[in-house]
């Protein structure tokens, strides 16, 4: 393995220089921060050394890669055998039967007991990627029996009222995390890479600090991604709140014990694929010492496909006791059926929804009324 060192006074520029030389998929091994004395010894200046692995020519022995692939495949099989059905404790199977069917259900047959506006509403929900069985549950709550046809039809003034009735019966809402103030609360944000955990953690932190005048501290366990800690530290500095980094369980527990007089501790974790069992296990081990007193939030993107979203929830629930779902990127999809599908089928409560990239503005507490607006439109 060959390594090239880039040196300079701006880390982002060094990373860009390395990408220009070796391409976007560079492998950054490490970086160091050196302090140089300024002229006449007045203060210090930071200088960075960035260590980058030089990509090898495409002469890597094929046999070695094949061996690695076989080893990884064997490990995956062993792990899957040790987790029989990935079924969370005290929770029904998170992957509904109608998700895994090889052929889509016959919609006409499924909805044959409905008529009129109810049938129109069902088809509208399905067009937004609401699962047919979920749509049926929701709509039936707003229906009465039509005597002429002996079928179910809406008995509410509007379609939105019908959906709201169904949502209130089948979906639980946490409300704002600061609604109940009984001592220190610890909230950990977990989820796949790229769903916006760090950004939305600081949206919530901003609300607590600016609007509620609460004492908030942030701890990051993400020491893997280059620049992740720096980004979080910048947010914390803007809010003037303490920020800590802890990459192992003992340090995390010690740090939390030093913050007992705070109202909230928000913990940011590294994004991991739901298929990366080893890494998910690492996160669980780090958070393990706090598991009894911690609210774990699973962060998910609204632009996920139904199958992928259920798989994420299923896998993460095997490792963590998920207390609520936080949805992101609602502004990036026109079919947000997940807002109904996931909480109804998994029975996990919902908390917040991210509506854009701005901090702290673009986040809302989920309620039946705004779920309906996202699904049916204003």
* Residue 248 in tokens: 């192992």
Under 8 Å between Cβ of 232 and 268: yes
Under 8 Å between Cβ of 151 and 145: yes
Strand partners, 51: 5, 30
* Distances 229 to 11, 12, 14, 58, 233 between C-alpha atoms, Å: 13, 14, 17, 34, 6
* Distances 343 to 163, 172, 234, 350 between C-alpha atoms, Å: 14, 8, 34, 7
Q: pLDDT tens digits, residue range 42-64?
A: 566 778 787 777 776 554 444 55
Q: Which of 195, 215, 122 is nearest to 163 (CA)?
A: 122
Residues of the chain with pLDDT under 50: 40-41, 59-62, 82-92, 98-103
Which residues are CB-neighbours of 355 under 8 A, at least 6 positions away?
330, 331, 362, 363, 364
Kindly report the pTM of this predicted structure: 0.70
Give domain limits for the chain: 3-53, 97-170, 185-376
The terminus-to-terminus CA distance of the chain in angstroms comes to 57
Q: pLDDT tens digits, residue range 124-159?
A: 999 999 999 999 999 999 999 999 999 999 999 999
* Residue 28 in tokens: 């950054």
H-run or E-run covering 53: strand 44-53
The pLDDT score that the predictor gives to residue 54 is 77
Under 8 Å between Cβ of 359 and 206: yes
The pLDDT score that the predictor gives to residue 53 is 79
Under 8 Å between Cβ of 162 and 121: yes
* Distances 359 to 206, 296, 356, 370 between C-alpha atoms, Å: 8, 21, 9, 20
Helices (H), the chain: 11-22, 62-82, 107-110, 116-127, 132-140, 159-170, 197-206, 228-239, 249-257, 277-287, 306-319, 338-346, 368-376
Q: pLDDT tens digits, residue range 178-223?
A: 887 678 899 999 999 888 888 999 999 999 999 999 999 999 987 6
* Residue 111 in tokens: 């909805």
Strand partners, 28: 52
The pLDDT score that the predictor gives to residue 126 is 96
Q: Quick one: fold of 185-376?
A: Rossmann fold (3.40.50)
The pLDDT score that the predictor gives to residue 304 is 92
The pLDDT score that the predictor gives to residue 18 is 82
The pLDDT score that the predictor gives to residue 204 is 95
What CA–CA distance (Å, rounded) separates 215 from 240? 10
What CA–CA distance (Å, rounded) separates 3 from 108? 62
Under 8 Å between Cβ of 312 and 344: no
């Amino acid at each position: 393995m060959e390594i090239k060192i880039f040196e300079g006074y701006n880390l982002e520029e060094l990373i860009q220089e390395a990408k220009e030389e070796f391409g976007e998929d560079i492998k950054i091994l490490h970086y160091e921060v050196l302090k140089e004395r300024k002229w006449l010894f007045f203060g210090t200046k930071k200088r960075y050394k960035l260590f980058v692995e030089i990509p090898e020519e495409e002469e890597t022995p094929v046999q070695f890669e094949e061996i690695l692939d076989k080893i990884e495949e064997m490990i995956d099989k062993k792990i899957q055998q040790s987790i029989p059905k990935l079924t969370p404790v005290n929770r029904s199977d998170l992957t509904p039967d109608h998700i895994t069917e090889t052929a889509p259900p016959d919609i006409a047959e499924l909805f044959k007991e409905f008529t009129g506006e109810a049938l129109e509403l069902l088809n509208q929900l399905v067009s937004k990627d609401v699962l047919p069985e979920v749509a049926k549950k929701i709509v039936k709550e707003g229906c009465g029996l039509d005597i002429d046809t002996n079928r179910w039809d809406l008995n509410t003034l509007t379609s939105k009222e019908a959906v709201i009735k169904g949502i209130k019966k089948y979906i639980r809402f946490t409300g704002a995390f600061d609604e109940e103030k009984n001592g220190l609360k610890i909230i950990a944000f977990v989820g796949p890479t790229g769903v916006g955990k760090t950004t939305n953690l600081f949206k919530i932190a901003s609300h607590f600090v600016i609007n509620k005048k609460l004492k908030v501290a942030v701890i990051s366990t993400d020491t893997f991604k280059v620049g992740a800690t720096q980004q979080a530290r910048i947010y914390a500095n803007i809010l003037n709140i303490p920020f800590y980094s802890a990459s192992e369980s003992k340090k995390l527990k010690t740090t939390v014990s030093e913050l007992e007089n705070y109202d909230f501790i928000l913990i940011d974790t590294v994004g991991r694929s739901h298929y990366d069992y080893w890494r998910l296990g690492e996160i669980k081990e780090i958070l393990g010492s706090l598991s009894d007193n911690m609210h774990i939030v699973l962060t998910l993107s609204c632009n996920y496909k139904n199958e992928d979203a259920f798989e994420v929830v299923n896998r993460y629930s095997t490792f963590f006791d998920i207390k609520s779902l936080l949805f992101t990127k609602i502004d990036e999809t026109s079919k947000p059926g997940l807002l109904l599908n996931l909480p109804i089928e998994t029975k996990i409560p919902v908390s917040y929804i991210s509506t854009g990239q701005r901090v702290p503005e673009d986040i809302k507490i989920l309620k039946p009324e705004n779920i309906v607006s996202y699904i049916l439109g204003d």
